[in-house]
Chains A and B, each alone.
Chain A
Amino acid sequence: IAGITQAPTSQILAAGRRMTLRCTQDMRHNAMYWYRQDLGLGLRLIHYSNTAGTTGKGEVPDGYSVSRANTDDFPLTLASAVPSQTSVYFCASSSQGDITDTQYFGPGTRLTVL
């Protein structure tokens, strides 16, 4: 593994189903983030974690939950998917979570909720 990986690459999901998007980084970065990207709206922050064991809500957290049990993994869960959650989801990490840090992004997960 080099950098950030996300799984699955893409998924089609029936509304009401539960789904977990996986994100793993091997850079030992303290901070991790989940964004969704929709046409015309740009990237919007869903949840973030400044360090293992802590999480926080971003701009659009409703319908999503996260956990940060260790430094490397930051899964995003949709408890009961709805069509408005159709989007491209990017996981990112940064070294210290400082505002000057570069954020490194994973390749994304394309999710379609029908």
Chain B
Amino acid sequence: RKEVEQDPGPFNVPEGATVAFNCTYSNSASQSFFWYRQDCRKEPKLLMSVYSSGNEDGRFTAQLNRASQYISLLIRDSKLSDSATYLCVVNIPSGSARQLTFGSGTQLTVLP
């Protein structure tokens, strides 16, 4: 089983739609959670951190469910510019290593 699993998609949605991505992680001791965005042939960039209480940044809402070990990302009022791959990222508790594990990503295409 992968440590971080995501539905690869692709998700094709019209402009203005609401879309949600889920991600599950296997290590219950994980403490830090993030969503990164990666545009085609570009480097990943932090979209938002995910906090236990849930957090919102404009049209983006991230939620964490520790009991079920899943993280979600909700995008409201989708824009063409939201088209990208969204990476779910979780830390690995492992001694002194401060490592992050990346999911393989969910591809989103917003259609005009």
Contacts and interface: CB of A to CB of B under 8 A. Distances in A.
The answer to whether A and B interact is yes
The size bracket of the interface on A is 20 to 34
A102 interface: yes
B16 interface: no
Given A40-B104, A42-B87, A42-B105, A103 B46 contact: yes
Given A90-B43, A100-B49, A107-B43, A45 B99 contact: yes
Interface in A28-46: 31, 35, 40-45
Contacts, number: 53
A35 B102 CA distance: 10
The size bracket of the interface on B is 20 to 34
Interface string A41-55: 111110010100000
Interface of A: 31, 35, 40-45, 48, 50, 56, 58-59, 90, 97-108
